[in-house]
Structure 1
Amino acid sequence: MESIVETVVVVAISVLGAALARRLGFIAPLVLLVAGLGLSYVPGVPAVHLEPELVLIGILPPLLYVAALQTNLVAFRAAIRPILLLAVGLVMLTAFVIGFVLHALLPDVPLAACVALGAVVAPPDAVSATAIARRIGLPRRIVVILEGESLLNDATALVTVRIAVSALLGSAVGFWEITGEVALKAGAGVLLGLIAAVGAAWLHKKITDPLLDDAVSLLTPFVVVIIAEELKSSSVVAVVVAGLYLGHRIPYLLSAESRLQMEAVWRLVNFLLEGVVFLLVGLQLRELIENIEVGWATTVRVTLVVFLVLVAVRFLWMYPATYLARLMPRIRAREDRPPITHPTVIAWAGMRGVVTLAAALTLPPNDTFRGNDYPRELFVFVAFAIIVLSLLIQGTSLPMVARRLGVTEDTSTEDALAEANVQHAASRAARERLEKHADGAPLSVVERLRALTDSRSNNAWERLGNQEQETPSAAYGRLRREMITAERHIFKIARNEGRISEEVLTRAQRELDLEESQLTRSDD
């Protein structure tokens, strides 16, 4: 009973913290970290110990899976070169650079342990970055690159951490050995992810119950990661590949009701998991700080050096990776040369998050290796501190940096024009299908469907008009919402007076809710 109460309290606090962050315009993970640290000093609050398996199998897979489901696969493939350069090349370079720098600062610590910390803090988590990017209107290609990097860099980092830890056992591991191991595990992960995605797609195709669709979708990332771990392949890559494939195929696999319900379910899961994990990190920080055996001067120096090296290496990588590749005629002919402000913004959008947390928790205890002791508590603290610093410094300043550099893109008119053209073609196809199957249907029904088709086409073109004046579709939405409110009120009164059953009210409420939801989506 006590553990249940603690779980409910943690979830409730994470929800309140996220709500407060949204209200104040702050980054939610940062608020929850601070809240957790503050709560850890409250008498009676129990100590928290996050297990690595919980994060790697219980938290990280669903977060990656839902991010992959929402990623545009076509845009992802178009940007695969810069994504791989960041997700593989930059992560490995960062791990080794930080490893050598840290070994110079702490010569008594084995180089392999220093490289392990470098791999822990190397992968940016673009959840916060892409959320900010969309809000301030960064160009779509930048958003896609950030999303793709965050989906694939986890595999590189986690494999590098494992290999570096194995090197502490005495295995001689070099750059090319790590590269080959990453490629092998990633290739196996791609194959497993595709097989799992095809299986899940077959199930979704056969299922007609939205609840069962939700259950299959929720189970998919956990099943994939468990099988991948058993087969010693990259579970991260497997989950991402499965999510990318299924996200691209969802419009063909699921019914409309299943899609709407699944979207709501995954939004809730994503919201709760992100909130809870950062709150738990904050709660664990106090004990971590108290167990650090080195002096605070060393701790602060190591933390600042690691953070500065992280930022510097990312900037030094971005410009050659962006422009040297365009010396090749084939790439230069296919891709425009971006202004220097674009790689600058991508370089600054290097916030760390859940992946760094998960990787840090996998670092083994200090006494695991005979003769190879290392300050684990210091390393885990540095990883957590890097998350805080990156969110506090880079996360809060990214909107200002993007605005100062002029890296914004207003695609509302372009999107409205593209939508209007496609909607016109879709309405024409719908009208042709209507005329083909209209025989025998009441004329009033056919006329109503014709009017609905024309209305949808006209609504799309209206978005290109004057935004300051209320359009007919906006007026329709405003007035229809008022009508729906009145209808709901009458149904509730009828239920309260016993003239209709609760089942009748529920059915009517659902129909009105779906219609109002559609009106809200049209406004967006």
Structure 2
Amino acid sequence: MDAFESILAMLAGAVLLRGLSHRSGVPFPTLLAVAGALLALVAVELPFSLDPSLVLALFVAPILLDAAFDTSPRDLKANWRAVLQLVVVAVGLTTIGVAAVAHWLVPDLSWAAAIALGAIVAPPDAAAATAALRQVSPPHRLNVILEGESLLNDASALLIYRLAVTAAVSGGTITAAAIAPTFLLSVVGSLVAGPAIALVWSRLTRDISDAPSSIILQFVATFGVWVVAESLHLSAILTVVTYAMTIARSAPARTPARLRVPSYAVWDTAVVVLTALAFVLIGLQLGPVIRHAPPGAVAEWSVVAAAVLATVIVLRLIWVFGYNRWLWLRGARVADDSHADWRSGMIIGWAGMRGIVTVGTALALPAGFPHRDLLLFVAFAVTLGTLVIQGLTLKPLVRWLALEDDGPVEREVRLARVALAETGLAAIDGDDSDEARALRDELHIECRTAADAEEGDGRAILPAKVLRRRVSEERRERLLALRRDGTIGDDAFHRLEEELDFADLAIEQRI
């Protein structure tokens, strides 16, 4: 099977697994991890490889930007204490704990290589957690904390990872005195560079009106920000996060719907493809490693992987509950410390699934890195183990703990609907045309429905919209018939089809 056929098989498999995820309720990342494990165990050789130096930029940059674009700075600020202690302390404890366990079990594994392994498996993946939690709707604040942690802990873990890899390759050591200045420079520089690049890029691309050009430039900017940050020795992850969050504040005001709709679709597709590709690649790399390993090596690696997996899970629970206890002892009543409640703490502690960043950093290890095969095996085993053990039990755990979302997003949506309807009414105030009267009636219904609703998002089901859907369906059938009988050609057909598509999107959002 050549590379082209391999890519086709990978894409088809990703679609099948995504469909299976929707039908079964099993998180998509969990299924991808299982598929990667099967690829590693099956004796199949696919001509598909990637330069380790490109792995982080290719996989992490676009997926991280997509997540950061949807992050709310307001919510992140409101929960900064809970996020910060996970980003700094939990990542640090996990890195040190894993390094100690790995060095103890494999004495000839240098401390630098052991710390690199700790940094690889330290950062949890919010996408895996939210995929598992999506069907049970836990409190909104828990999602905010998990997503905020995932955005920022990658930066702290990757900085440790870079230093550890450099030290391991060069035979040096890592000290707190060496890490602190680099960490501070990286953080401060990234916090300045990300927003600055976003402001400059927004000005340079504000006149782009072609959808394909706009989408291509979005990917160019994403990878470009990563490359610039790397060349300046900044945190590429933190720079991309701050860039995306800045762009997200300015883009909606200047981007028309005809550019935004296809852009979102392309980015959703790219995230699925890159995530699937990462798990396929690590499965393909592990296959030859397992088959060509010395006798008894895989059994030894399995012991190390099991110990590291237990360390990762237990240390996170210990820290979360320890922090919870500390808050209780000091009588803290801080709004963002939502996991001071033991049930919330249990969810946050158990939602430590590893994902794309762990897989990506493992794949990015240089070819001659000491014990690379061991580290690759352990990193994937931890990812697979957390996605299966925690990913499949997180949803039942939320239900057992009876944690439910108190609906802050829906309340804000209802509030905004009322405000938008009132603004629309003010815009046509004094207009006595028939069209204005019909629109005024619709806006009054929307306003009353949202204002009176006590749950849900307060969306009004308008009779006129139902009629528009029926009319749109009939118009589309007629348009298809006109093309079938040769009355109109494909050029005219596609122009009218696009108009009906945008009208249908508007109807779907209003019914």
1:74 equivalent in structure 2: 74
Partner residue in 2 for 1:514:
502
Residues 479-498 of structure 1: matches in 2 within 5 Å? 479-498=467-486
CA gap of 1:60–1:263, structure 2 versus 1, over 3 A, is: same
Partner SS state of residue 224, structure 1: helix
Q: In the alignment, residue 286 of structure 1 is paired with which amino acid?
A: G
Sort the Cα spacing of 1:500 and 1:362 in 2 relative to 1 into closer, same or farther, 3 A. Answer: closer
Q: Tell me how far apart the structure 1 counterparts of residues 437 and 463 of structure 2 sit (CA, whole Å).
A: 22
Check conservation: 1:204, 1:254, Cα contact below 8 A: no
Instruction: Output the CA distance in 1 between the equivalents of 2:254 and 2:326.
Output: 42
Q: What is aligned with 1:385?
A: 381
Cα distance in 2, alignment partners of residues 489 and 190 from structure 1 = 53
Q: 1:450 aligns with which of 420, 426, 440?
A: 440
CA deviations 1:248-288 (Å, max 9, x no partner) are 33322312322222222211111222122222322332112
Pick aligned residue for 2:313 from 311, 314, 322: 311
How many Å separate the matches in 1 of 2:386 and 2:180?
27
Mark the CA change 1:409 to 1:42 in structure 2 (over 3 Å): closer, same or farther.
closer
For 1:421, the aligned partner's letter is L
Task: Please say if residues 18 and 275 of structure 1, whose CA atoms lie closer than 8 Å, have aligned partners that are also in contact.
Answer: no
The CA distance in 1 between the partners of 2:36 and 2:415, in whole Å, is 50
Q: CA deviation at 1:44?
A: 6.4
Q: Which residue of 2 aligns with 1:371?
A: none
CA distance in structure 1 between the partners assigned to 2:349 and 2:357 by the alignment: 18
- Counterpart code for 2:25: G
How far apart are 1:117 and its partner, in Å?
Answer: 0.7
- 1:403 aligns with 399
Three-state SS of the structure 2 residue aligned to 1:435 is coil
| Equivalent residues in 2 for 1:276-355, closer than 5 Å | 276-293=277-294, 295-324=297-326, 332=333, 334-335=335-336, 338-355=340-357
Aligned match of 2:251: 250
* 1:75-99: CA deviation from partner (whole Å, max 9, x where unpaired): 0122222212212221122111111
Amino acid at match of 1:270: V
**In structure 2, what is the equivalent of residue 376 of structure 1?**
372
Shift of 1:461: 4.6
The CA RMSD over aligned residues, in Å, is 2.9
* Aligned CA distance change for structure 1 residues 251 and 12 (closer, same or farther; 3 Å): same
Contact 1:15 / 1:275 at 8 angstroms: preserved in 2? no
Other-structure match for 2:59: 59
Tell me if structure 1 keeps the 8 A contact 2:125–2:150.
Answer: yes
State the distance in 2 between where 1:474 and 1:392 align: 44
Residue equivalent to 1:473: 461
Q: Deviations over 1:397-427 (max 9, x none)?
A: 000111112222252xx65554333322222
1:233 counterpart SS class: coil
CA contact (8 A) 1:47 1:284 kept: no
Corresponding position of 2:236: 235
Quote the offset at 1:301 in angstroms.
Answer: 1.4
Q: Is the 8 A contact 2:80 2:336 kept in 1?
A: no
State the one-letter code of the partner of 2:274: L
Farther-moved stretch of structure 1 (125-134 vs 225-234): 125-134
CA distance in 1, matches of 2:456, 2:129: 32
**Matches of 2:245 and 2:383 in 1, distance apart?**
27
CA, structure 1 residues 220+472, in 2 after alignment: closer, same or farther (shift >3 Å)? closer
Contact kept in structure 1, 2:286 and 2:376, CA below 8 Å: no
Contact 2:304 2:378 in 1 (8 A): yes
Q: Distance in 2 between matches of 1:466 and 1:159?
A: 42
Q: Does 1:186 align with 2:187?
A: yes
Distance in 2, Cα, partners of 1:107 & 1:415: 51
Q: Given the superposition, is the C-alpha separation of residues 322 and 37 from structure 1 closer, same or farther in structure 2, using an over 3 Å criterion?
A: closer
Contact 1:40/1:47 (CA < 8 Å) preserved in 2? Answer: no
Q: Structure 1: state its 5+ residue gaps.
A: 369-373
CA 99–419 in structure 1, closer or farther in 2 if over 3 Å, else same: closer
The answer to which of 477-486 and 232-241 deviates more is 477-486
Q: Identity over aligned residues, as a percent?
A: 30
Match of 2:275 in 1: 274
2:426 matched residue in structure 1: 432
Cα distance, 1:164 vs structure 2? 1.6
Indicate conservation of the 8 Å contact 1:427/1:456, yes or no.
yes
1:415-430 aligned at under 5 Å gives the runs: 415-430=409-424
Give the Cα separation in 1 of the matches to 2:411 and 2:240.
35
Normalising by structure 2, report the TM-score.
Answer: 0.90
CA shift digits 1:25-66 (9 cap, x unpaired): 222233233334445666764254343233211121000000
Q: In 2, are the aligned partners of 1:155 and 1:237 still within 8 Å (CA)?
A: yes
The equivalent of 1:131 in structure 2 is 131
**What code does the residue aligned with 1:300 have?**
S
Q: Distance in 2 between matches of 1:153 and 1:336?
A: 18
Task: After superposition, give the CA deviation of every residue in 1:451-482 in whole Å (9 maximum; x if it has no partner).
Answer: 34334324535754899xxx971665555433
Q: Does the Cα contact within 8 Å between 1:61 and 1:236 map onto a contact in 2?
A: yes
**Distance change (3 Å), C-alpha of 1:364 and 1:272:** closer
Distance 1:273 1:364, change over 3 A: closer
AA aligned to 1:521 is: Q
CA distance 1:333–1:494, shift in 2 (3 Å) = closer
- Per the alignment, residue 155 of structure 2 pairs with 155
Cα distance in 2 for partners of 1:36, 1:90 equals: 28
Tell me which moved more, 380-389 or 44-53. Answer: 44-53
- Contact 2:79–2:335, Cα closer than 8 Å, also in 1: no
1:167 offset after TM fit, Å?
A: 2.6
Change (3 A) 1:179 1:93: farther
2:374 corresponds to which letter in structure 1? L
Letter in 1 for 2:490: E
The answer on whether the counterparts of 2:42 and 2:287 sit within 8 Å (CA) in structure 1 is no
Deviations 1:336-364 (A, max 9, x none): 66411111110100000111112112333
